[in-house]
Structures are given as structure tokens and as C-alpha cells.
A = this chain, B = another copy of it.
Amino acid sequence: MKVSIIGGSGFTGGELLRILATHPNVEIKMATSRRYVGDYVHRVHPNLRGILDIQFTDPSTSKIAEESDVVFLCTPAGVSAKMTPEFLEAGVKVIDLSPDFRLKNPGEYERWYGWKHPRPDLLEKAVYGLPELHREDIQKADLIACPGCMSTAAILAMAPLAKTGFIKQSIVVVDAMIGSSGAGATPSLASIHAERYGVIRPYKPVGHRHTSEIEQELGLLAGENVKVAFSASSVNIVRGILVVCHCFTEKNVTVRDLWKIYRQFYGNEPFIRLVRDVKGIFRYPDPKLTVGSNFCDVGFEFDPYTNRIVALAAIDNLVKGAVGNAVQSLNIIYELDEKTGLMYPGIHPV
């Protein structure tokens, strides 16, 4: 199928080009970039030198629509809300990696993004692009809203617990730790090496936008409202997210129960790996072990001292946290094997 990428010069756009370059069923028609129009993509994404021989273009939406079956939008917040309607009207499927269509309730955009959504009618039509939770809807969708990177990790860590009633009437606490590629390629004083290197920087201890997505999805699973106390800190890596989720429960739980709950929920999901080893140096999920792969490693532990289930998840924020969900959704829409073009082993050590 013919695909185009809007906003091909950022880290997400580059990662999408990397994955699609070796995807057997995809023909990349266009990769757009206003800033780098005319440049070869490997000038911005050096890992693609010798792999992709195309240049960035900046055509009109209608030109892109003419030549593409599917468009991926790797655009900053607010851009996709304007472009998507045009593509949908032209019969082009949209896989949006921006936040513009993730939330069902327009009011939540005002609260978390301070932004009045221009097309609330489309929010109902959009499907939340997390295959492990919405496979059937994705299959029939024209508009996919890919989840935020940290939301992906937190939701996947706690989904089995939400489904089996372990997140009832209580607040869950989520600490997310993320690498520098999560902040994107736009330079800022906070992201220059001398300032960013070696930090453990609580950059959003409260009010992080991903909270609303996590509450939305866990709420659907739990069948009632869930409140999430979310804090995000950046750490001294480039790729990777670890979430440590604290779920308090009155029920008594054993590790065996947890294995059963997580196995039942994730069965044979191709990209979820349950990691709770009893020996060795890789006992719990750790993003270092997922770099470059589409795997989400999920783990858990029970703390009898505080009656707390600790749910853990580790992903590569650029792959499973962004383009992995997008390409999985593409595979689902076109009824391909979901693993197509995504079954990379991670790079270790790195």
C-alpha cells in the first residue's frame, strides 16, 4: 500500500521511515518537511544513508492525498486537527501520532491542553491506536489516534489489573522515567548536552497531559472512573521509558495470582513480554533491553507491607511508544500479520 509521512524530519518521522523502509508491503510515496524540503532524508536521518534514497518534499494536502492510501501525521499538537478532515474527505486513512484525536471527551482537551478542539465530532470516529486493547475497532477505523509514549507504558502495565477490578475506588500513582529522544528534535537550553547529560530531572511532577489518556483507557477497562497521580522525570538515556505504577489494594495477592492475571490478559500478544525473572541480572522490565524493538516488557511485584501491587513496564519510546503502535495499526487495517516489519530483536548491549 502507498503511504506518506507528514512531518518526516523529527525523531518520530525518522523512526517511521526506518521501520517502513524494510516493511515488505509498504511503498513510501512522500516524506514531507517544510524546513528540509529538497534535502535527502539521510541528511537528517543519517542511519538511513544507503537504505532510503528519497528527498523531503512539501506538497499540498490534496497532492499527498492523491498519491497515498494512508498518511501518517508526525506533527506537533494542533496541526493534525486541521489536516485530518481533508484527508478523510479524500478517502485517505489517517494514522495520527499527535495528541489531537486521542481523547474521547472534548472537555478534557480544554483541561489538559488548554485548547478548544476544532472538530469534536471526529473524536468519536477516532480509534485509540493501542492494538492490545482495541484491535477490532482499529481494523475498521479510518482515523487512528496513536497513544502517547508514556501512556502506552502505563496503560499496558496496569490494564490487566484494571480489568480484574484491582484498581477500584483508589488512586494509582505512576512514576515515569524517560530518555531525551522523548523531548523531540527541537533544540532548547534544557536539551543541550551540557545541561541534559547526567540529569535525573523531574520535568513534569504534576499536570502531565498523558494523565488524561491513562485515565480514559484504564477507566474503560475498570468500568468506572480511575484517578491517576502521574509524575514524569527525564533520565540519562536517549531512548526508553520505564513506568513504576503503584496500585493499592485491599485484596491479598500472590505473585502466582499476578502471573495468572497478566497471562490471561496478554495471552499470546506478539509484542508483550512478561518479565519477572527469579535470577540473573535482567529480572524486571528495563528499557535498555528493548532499544530498537517494538516490545513492551511488563512486570509486577506485590508488597505485603503496604498492600501494594507494583506494576512495571519498559518500552522504546520511539518504537512501541510511537511508530510501533502506528505500524501495528497499519498491519491490522490491511489484515496483514501484525508482526510484519516489526519483529526486530532489540539491540543489546547498547
In-complex Cβ contact of A349 among B181, B343, B346 (8 A): B181
In the assembled complex, A22 has its CB within 8 A of some CB on chain B: yes
Task: Give A113 to B77 CA distance when docked, in angstroms.
Answer: 60
Contacts of A350 in B (CB 8 A): 238-239, 291-292, 347, 350
Q: Provide 10 A-B residue pairs closer than 8 Å at the C-beta atoms, listed in order of the A residue.
A: A43-B277, A46-B275, A47-B345, A49-B273, A49-B297, A50-B270, A50-B273, A51-B345, A291-B350, A292-B350
In the assembled complex, A295 has its CB within 8 A of some CB on chain B: yes
Q: Judging by beta carbons under 8 Å apart, are A275 and B181 in contact?
A: no
Chain A residues within CB distance 8 Å of chain B: 11, 14, 18, 21-22, 43-51, 181, 238-239, 270, 273, 275, 277, 279-280, 282, 286, 289-293, 295, 297, 343-350
Identical chains in the assembly: 2
Smallest CB separation, A140 vs chain B (Å): 28
Q: Which 6 A-B pairs have the closest CB atoms?
A: A47-B346, A47-B348, A46-B282, A46-B289, A292-B347, A51-B345
* Extra inter-chain contacts (17) besides given A46-B282, A47-B347, CB under 8 Å: A18-B345, A18-B348, A21-B345, A22-B343, A22-B344, A22-B345, A43-B282, A44-B280, A46-B275, A46-B346, A47-B293, A49-B297, A50-B295, A181-B349, A239-B350, A347-B347, A350-B350
Q: Judging by beta carbons under 8 Å apart, are A348 and B50 in contact?
A: no
Contacts of A277 in B (CB 8 A): 43
